[in-house]
Amino acid sequence: MEGFVDQYLNFLAVEKGVSRHTIDAYSRDLNKYIGFIKGRGVQSIKGISPEDIVSFLAKVRGDGLNARSVNRTLSAIRGFTQFLIRERMVDENPVVNIERAKTWMILPDTLSQGEMNLLLAQPGNVSPVATRDTAMLELMYATGIRVSELLSLTINSVNWQVGYLVVMGKGGKERIVPMGKSAYHCVRAYVDSSRPKFLKGRQTNLLFLNRAGEGLTRQGFWKILKKYATKSGLHKKIHPHTFRHSFATHLLEGGADLRSVQMMLGHSDISTTQIYTHVTRDRLKAIHKKYHPRG
């Protein structure tokens, strides 16, 4: 069974152009899945039943996996099964009637506008590193891009004349996102004054660099963010996706329409974007309760 998983992952990488991060996640999920299935005594890929899959999903949920991660696991199993059907390794689809977990119940972590302003003020611009970090944080909040998208940006990703980013998202899908004045000026300052100091004569098109003149890693960015989150004194869990969640929530609170937010986030399905309407409704209820005389 593990051989079939390897074939599927190779198919995703070569024919579908799926990112290494997604393939690694699917590899972990599918290998756990196959291990569980074999542990139930199923000897053949054709012998997997809907009950086997439901039992596996119930197990990982019981082990502490949140609904969003359960859905990712289900997506991996669903795609794997469709691949097996396409390759005529199985005849029936045991996943077809299994529903997704209720992700809308899990509201994303967001910062208020005041909290976000406090966090963005932490790096400053007293050094090349601080100028770079300010540019990255401002750009994350201004555009709602994922950290993987941020770290893969090149100099050519920025349209300086119009002030927008060309972002390469999941599945190689390209989208255009406005930068806004604040992020524009911060990125411009970084490119003009700090980036050449990181390059040290090297040649690379990557926009954001480390001290060695190389591209930043996800782990490197996480350490940077953790430092400023601690420095800000905010008693909230702050992670890279907090910027994306806050970006969408603040746009909707300001009156942006859902379809525009969907386009800027790069969501293929508007139902994914609709989670943020729950966030804004909850916040409106809290405001009403606090300030209305009969709240």
Question: Which residues does the annotation mark as catalytic?
Answer: 146, 170, 241, 244, 267, 276
Backbone angles phi, psi at 120, to 5 degrees: -65, -25
Contacts of 40 (CB under 8 A, 6+ apart): 52, 55
Residue indicated by tokens 């992952």: 9
Residues 6+ apart with CB under 8 A from 274: 104, 258
Residues 25 and 31: beta-carbon distance below 8 Å:
no
Quote the distance between the C-alpha of residue 199 and its chain's center: 28
Q: Which residues, other chains included, contact 155 with Cβ-Cβ below 8 Å and sequence gap of 6+?
A: 191, 205, 207
Spell out the residues 6+ positions from residue 140 whose beta carbon is closer than 8 angstroms to its own. Answer: 147, 150, 240, 243, 244, 247
Distance CA 30, CA 167 (A): 29
Judged on CB neighbours under 10 Å (0-12, 13-18, 19+), 114 is exposed
CA distances from 182 to 200, 249, 255 (A): 27, 19, 20
**Per-residue exposure over 57-69, b if at least 16 CB sit within 10 Å of its own CB, e if not:** beebeeeebeeeb
Contact indicator for 119, 226 with CB cutoff of 8 Å: no
